[in-house]
Amino acid sequence: MNRILNRLRPLPKLKEAILGMGYVTPVFFIMGALVVLPLISTIWDSFYNVNPMRAGTPFVGFDNYAKLLSDPNVQKSWTNTFIYVAITVILETVLGVGAALLLNKVKFGRSWLLAALILPWCLPPVVNAVVWMWIYNPSYGVLNGVLLSLGLIEENRVWFNDQFTALFLISIVHAWRMMPLTAIIILAALQAIPKDLYEAAKLDGAGPIKMFRKVTLPLISGGLAIALSQSTVFAFNLFDEAWILNGAGLDTRTVMIQVYMSAFQNLKFSYGMALSILAMLASLIVSAVYVLRIYRETRFD
């Protein structure tokens, strides 16, 4: 009896702390090995000149970064990437929130609709891009077909001839694939809102628009911040869609494609690494900005 009681006694502070450390150690090592170490070594290498075709890895300081700033291809890829981010984040958020609101209203067969909605997200990015490549095909694509039959265009168009059309069409492909994730995150947030809050708001005098602005939106803001930051991060990392639909074309080149080309086609490893570090910082900063903004704006009205 006493032995059992002894064992049930709370641990002393120190022992408890050691136990806690014990629990987190495995995660600590896994994250360290798979995330932190590669990150550090990437940062480290970006200050050197690592090139398999040359002997030695001389220290070059911020040289790589300085060159990046003046490289016109890199500048172009940054502009493209920011355009992709803007279009896809807006598309994914508007469509995702809309889909979630609709699904939240549906009473019957919600799980089937949900399954259908998730489908594009389950497709491998490459497969998804190939499907859209057929849709956009200049000679037999569905897009031309539909627009022709609606009389909106008079002859088949080569969509990727115009840079902004191309950027927009590639954004659609990416948003189509990623929108389900936003929808699911928002749907979960919507379903966590107690029904009687809406009833209370109805009696308090809220119409549908005020209800959304004053009750729904603030209460899904947490989900919205998560959805926005994941859309942003994925948009900064956009690669497959642009690569498959338009290859290395400068008009549609993203920063990630630029990284790939610098590092693995031109074999300037350090140059690519420096660029990827910048891309990471950019996506972190952008998502941090609106996570904080949403947090501040919606906590209390």
Partner 1 sequence: MAKLEISNLTKNYGKVEVIKGVDLTVEDGEFVSLIGSSGCGKSTLLRMIAGLEDITSGSISIDGRVINDVEPKDRDIAMVFQNYALYPHLTVAENMGFSLHLRGVPKNEAKIAVEKVAETLGLTPYLDRAPKALSGGQRQRVAMGRAIVRNPRIFLFDEPLSNLDAKLRVQMRLEIKALQKRLGTTSIYVTHDQVEALTMSDRLVLLNGGQVEQIGTPMEVYKKPANIFVASFIGSPAMNLFDGILHRDVEQTFVTVHGNKILVPNCPKLTNGTKVKLGIRPEHLKYAATDSGNNIINMKVSMTETTGAETYAYGHFGDEAMTIKLNGEDAIKSGDKISLTVKTNLLHVFDYVTGIRINN
Residues 100 and 187 sit within 8 Å (Cβ to Cβ): yes
Residue 201 sits in the site that holds partner 1 (CB under 8 A): yes
Residue 207 sits in the site that holds partner 1 (CB under 8 A): yes
Exposure string (b/e) for 225-240, b if CB count within 10 Å is 16 or more?
bbbbbbbbebbbbbbb
Selection from 84, 92, 135 nearest residue 242 by Cα: 84
- Grouping H, G, I as helix, E, B as strand and the rest as coil, residue 48 is strand
Residue 205 sits in the site that holds partner 1 (CB under 8 A): yes
Question: How many Å apart are CA 183 and CA 97, to the nearest integer?
Answer: 6
Residue 297 sits in the site that holds partner 1 (CB under 8 A): no
Question: How many Å apart are CA 155 and CA 12, to the nearest integer?
Answer: 80
Q: How many residues bind partner 1 (CB under 8 A)?
A: 21
Quick one: which of 15, 54, 110, 202 contacts partner 1 (CB under 8 A)?
A: 202
Quick one: which of 214, 230, 284, 290 contacts partner 1 (CB under 8 A)?
A: 214
Neighbouring-strand partners of residue 237: none
Residue 301 sits in the site that holds partner 1 (CB under 8 A): yes
In the numeric block, which tokens belong to residue 128? Answer: 């998804």
Quick one: which of 115, 118, 153, 197 contacts partner 1 (CB under 8 A)?
A: 197
Quick one: which of 123, 172, 218, 282 contacts partner 1 (CB under 8 A)?
A: 218
Selection from 169, 117, 178 nearest residue 144 by Cα: 169
Residue 293 sits in the site that holds partner 1 (CB under 8 A): no
Could you say which residues in the range 99-118 bind partner 1, by CB under 8 A?
Answer: none
Which window, 31-39, 90-98, 157-165, 206-214, contacts partner 1 (CB under 8 A)?
206-214
Interface residues with partner 1 (CB under 8 A) are: 194, 196-197, 199-207, 210, 214-215, 218-219, 298-301
